[in-house]
Amino acid sequence: MERRQDIALGLIFVGFGIAAAWMATSYSGAGGTYPMVLGVILTLLGGTVALRAVRKGSNEARVLADTPAKMITAVGIAAIYVALVVPLGFYTSSFLLMLALPITLGFRQGVYALIVALVFMTVVYLVFSVLLEKPLPKEALAPLLGFGG
């Protein structure tokens, strides 16, 4: 419900505001006053949002995710990808992501996904590693395959 969502939102910001203001009390001089004032303002604004929702919030549901399962799947796979980027290497983990995410979301044309993944990863390699020479996480499999890694 919109009312409950806004009450929760307001209270979260009240919590942030109080925590920030309280932490700022340990900083000396003006370097502490400024974040403390901001913390207090955040608390007041959060409180206003929550109070306003209590007084006249709508009971109509506000949709937080159109298809929660797909959203959670995408977030979960993105988190796994971020966790694997360093241990597996950028190109290996990215290539796996290019195949795994569409298929998990219901894309059933494996060859199409593979071709797009190969083309896209080649472009990324040429742009970032060859043209721009950006340092990216090293490939874990490269030494096993006889490359420099």
Which residues form the interface with another protein (CB under 8 A)? 5-6, 9, 13, 16, 20, 23-24, 27-32, 34-35, 38-39, 41-42, 45-46, 48-49, 52, 62-67, 70-71, 73-75, 78-79, 81-82, 85-86, 90, 94, 97-98, 100-102, 105-108, 112-113, 116, 120, 124, 128, 132, 134-137
Comparison of 74 and 142: residue with beta carbon closer to another protein:
74
Comparison of 73 and 140: residue with beta carbon closer to another protein:
73
Question: Can you read off the two tokens belonging to residue 49?
Answer: 């949002």
The total of other beta-carbon atoms located within 10 Å of residue 43's CB is 20
CA distance 49 to 42: 11
Question: Can you read off the two tokens belonging to residue 132?
Answer: 């721009």
Hey, is 80 helix, strand or coil?
helix
What would you measure as the largest C-alpha separation in the chain, in angstroms? Answer: 68
CB of 68 to another protein, least distance (A): 8
